[in-house]
Amino acid sequence: MTSLHHLLSQEGFERTNKLFKTGRKQVKLSDESKSLPKYICHDIKSENSFKNLTRRASSDSKRIDGYEPAMSMDEVAVRAVISILGGYIGRYAKDLHFRKMIRNKCNSCLARRTRKDLDDGMFANMELGIESVDKLIEDQGTRKELKMKSLRNSIQLLTVVASLNSKKSRNASTCGIPNSHISACAQLYLSIVYKLEKNDRISARHLLQVFSDSPFLARTHLLPDLWEHFFLPHLLHLKIWYNKELEILSDSLCQVVDKEKRMKALRNAYNSHMDMGTIQFALYYKEWLKVGGKAPSVPAVSLPSGHSYATSRRTSADSFTSYSSINKKLYRAVFGHMAEHQSLEVNSQNKDSMDVWDLKQEKMTHRRTSSDNSIVPKKQLWHQTPKSDFFRFLSCQSIVSECWVKGNHIVGSSSIKNTELADIPLSDLSTAISTICSSDSLTDCEIAIRVITKAWLDSQGNPVVEDALSKAPVIEGMLEVLFASDDDEILELATSIIAEFISRNEANRLIILNSDPQLEIFMRLLKSSSLFLKAAVLLYQLKPKAKQMISIEWVTLALRVLEFGDQPQTLFTVRCIPQKAAMYFLDQLLTGFSEDRNLENASQVVSLGGLSLLVRIFEKGDIDERNNVAMLMSCCIRANSSSRNYLADNLNKTALLELIAFGIQNKSTGSAFALLTELLCLSRRTKMIKILTELNSGWGGLNTKHIFLVYLQRSLPEDRPLVAAILLQLDVLGDPLKSSLYREDAVEAIIDALNCQNCNSKVQEQTGRALLMLGGHFLYPGKAKAEDWLLYEAGCHERSMDLYCSNETMHGSLNEEEKALEDWQKRLAIVLLNTGNKRFLSALSNSIANGTQNLAQSSLFTVSWLNRVLTSVEDETFHSAHKALVTEFPPVPLKHLIKSSECVSMLSTLDKELIDPLRNLP
């Protein structure tokens, strides 16, 4: 799952600029927001957005008065929500582990029944509905009519169970189980059934109803990961408030009994508001998904009003004000550096209470006076905790001396002048810097992260603050927090500010790579359930090399990002789509090591189901992304030849042709054409013909053969033989007796490539590959299949025929494949010999005598199948062609030809067990 803040609407939380004591400051909206739907990414744009504001007394959120609830829903945003929810629940049919997890969770909710309750009708309906759904998924061969009937039956059964949550019975129970729990499970399976029926909109509505029926069960037990990424971004202010109140209550001096009562009251208030907020946003998005519906008002979830559990040293007003400042800064960190509508007027007497650092300092015994310009010793500001061994992860951390704050100035390097920093609490920032650089207390360093983040956001890129925070010890200290902390809020703030520093200075990138050369910190973040996408964006900025990604887990982590990282992530001003990061990681993993390790990683991509993800991106990505995907697919084919069959069946051939056409125009066809040649190196001619037929449909009104003719004229010498072979095969799909310009140019290019005197070894290698592709006996790496066929023709029937037939019998009917191959070779023989005449045969003869081993073998193979085809057909059409072949190649039995030392050397790659019988042929 990916963080869904970019899919969520305004929520009533408006960002403000830095809160100055002097008043408000207008901020111009980002141009980027103009092109995006108003329900996605950016604040609502309205003529009155800077004029009419209302401030709610119960929460920090603001609403734009000029916003009209009756406006039509933005279909782009609606589709995005349906896609996210549908993609999540769609895993039930695809992922066995996910299916078992959901089933077990539902069973645990329904398992608290006594034996006498086993015959209850509601539970029987539920069990029958679940069994029917699972049976449909496991039996993919079910006929469509039976499948639809079974789905309808499951919907009826589960709908009856879901009706338990009606107004009259929702607070009751059945067999000791709350009806809301039973209904939530039924709604979950209704969502699955409608997904199987391909009704994604209704499926999404039922999935949202799970959170409406039983919010606590859904967010804590049934679907916690979905809730965390879809609902929690709306409700983060409740979580922040709860953590702060819990921290204050934990440090209070009240009696144990009283403290326990207050903590219980705090938990109840928190869960109650969190459940209510979950219900409100579930209903809010259900309104989104009504066909032709209007945009509903964004729910405003307020903080709990009671403070009976708070300490006497902190009033409710103080608590709210502290939340207010944290909420703005944290939401800016979580939701990104977004265009802000306006600043709010804030009374100067509240400014001090809005400092994050005060949350900690309020509880300290020793306080600093307003006239004190010296640095307060760390012992006076933080309680000391025992040193934890795991926290000192980095092997070396220097002590910062140039970052201390002295008086009202930061003492920087000699190149930075002392500059007064208005509105920044310098003593707090200096303490935070010294703490992050030298403290062994994780808690203190986490607090320092908050202060540093706030100071950075408030400074709005002040170069003096940037210089102070971009020092190696400070960055190393933040990395230690990333490695040790389990607080998602702290981890996200640290990730965002580090990303900001990397984007501003290349030196910061090198500091991080030197501090964590094996990327262990980032592997930990990439394993996180909530922050892995932002961690991927941060790591992408570092541009690590393959030598730093040596763990076997990297492929899995990269594919996870590739699967869920299709939406932009924002880390302050850094904005990136995680899928780009995943593509970079995979490129390093599949091309950056030794050949064996590259193939091992590519094979792991295939085994983990990565090809389906690559196919999806290939269809939807831009040109650069699709070129990268094509290169990765070629790597996968080389590592696992079964990938070729999967891609031949599932890859969009029109998209591939489009990529080749764009490449011709931009002179960069390498990856796309390499993928196509790999796809056509199939052992089955029927599949090759299918691919060629799909390609031949053209793209954008352009003729496929014309595209390849242009490519043939512009291609490099080493590419021309394969381009010509593909163009010739496309032309052979038509009438072989009809003259064709494409055919003539293709055959001429193949004849030129067979001229060994004018072609280097690389061209000859590709020419040999092209001949094998034309003959239809190509099996990667390109020669073993041809050798088996030659052995069979030479008389080694038993062993060679077993080898020759084994692959076909595994995949289908040998007779059908032989018939298709024979028909293809007849058509191709007519084209080659009628168009090429004696020049083509002379070129074959020359390549057998003077070509490289691979080319000579491929030429021998071509002569053999041509002779076999022409001899077996009694047709006047083939008579003149056969005569020309016999003239150029006298009818010497193939077994005698192979016995010669020259030809045996061509087959030297075969096992000795296969070669020896050849020498003993009569």
What is the reported pLDDT for 790? 54
Smallest CA-to-CA distance from 1 within 569, 489, 494 is with 569
What is the reported pLDDT for 94? 87
Enclosing H/E stretch for 571: strand 569-571
What is the reported pLDDT for 870? 75
Amino acid at 586: L
**447 close to 360: Cβ distance less than 8 angstroms:** yes
Q: Token digits for 806? A: 């084994």
What is the reported pLDDT for 593? 93
What is the reported pLDDT for 149? 80
Enclosing H/E stretch for 574: strand 574-576
pLDDT in tens, 735-791: 877 878 899 999 999 999 998 888 888 999 999 999 988 887 654 433 445 555 555
Which residue carries 């929520």 as its tokens? Answer: 11
| CA distances (Å), origin 219, targets 172, 231, 241, 770, 902 | 21, 9, 18, 58, 74
What is the reported pLDDT for 340? 37
What is the reported pLDDT for 605? 94
Q: Give the mean pLDDT per block of 10 residues along the chain (922 residues).
A: 40 32 31 32 32 34 35 65 89 89 87 51 84 83 72 85 78 82 91 89 92 92 90 88 82 67 86 91 86 74 64 36 36 37 34 36 34 34 36 35 33 32 56 91 92 89 89 93 92 94 92 92 91 95 94 92 92 93 96 93 92 92 91 94 90 92 80 91 84 86 89 91 94 84 92 87 90 71 48 48 42 68 86 83 87 86 82 59 53 44 43 41 40
Q: Is the pTM of this model over 0.85?
A: no
Q: How far apart are CA 492 and CA 330, in angstroms?
A: 9
* Backbone phi, psi, residue 363, to 5°: -95, 0
- Residue 618 CB partners (closer than 8 Å, separation 6+): 626, 629, 630, 633, 651, 652, 655, 656
DSSP output for 379-416: HHHS---PPPGGG--SS--PPPSTT-EETTEE---TTS
What is the reported pLDDT for 16? 33
**314 close to 362: Cβ distance less than 8 angstroms:** yes
Q: Token digits for 296? A: 């509903």
DSSP secondary structure code for residue 738 in this structure? S
What is the reported pLDDT for 880? 55
Alpha helices in 90-171 (DSSP H): 91-94, 96-109, 121-138, 144-162
- For 888-918, letters b (16+ CB in 10 Å) and e give ebeeeebeebbeeeebeebbeebeeebeeeb
List, as own/partner pairs, every contact residues 500-503 make where C-beta atoms lie below 8 angstroms and the sequence separation is at least 24, other chains included: 500/456, 500/571, 500/572, 500/573, 500/574, 501/466, 501/469, 501/470, 501/475, 502/538, 502/541, 502/542, 502/574, 503/541, 503/573, 503/574
DSSP secondary structure code for residue 805 in this structure? H
| CA distances (Å), origin 191, targets 123, 162, 170, 228, 301 | 18, 12, 20, 19, 27
Which residue carries 């969009």 as its tokens? Answer: 652
pLDDT in tens, 880-910: 555 555 555 554 444 444 444 444 444 444 3
Amino acid at 741: L
- Residue 676 CB partners (closer than 8 Å, separation 6+): 656, 660, 726
* C-beta neighbour count of 76 within 10 angstroms: 12
Q: Catalogue the E-assigned strands of 723-874.
A: none
Smallest CA-to-CA distance from 632 within 594, 664, 663, 675 is with 675
Amino acid at 377: P
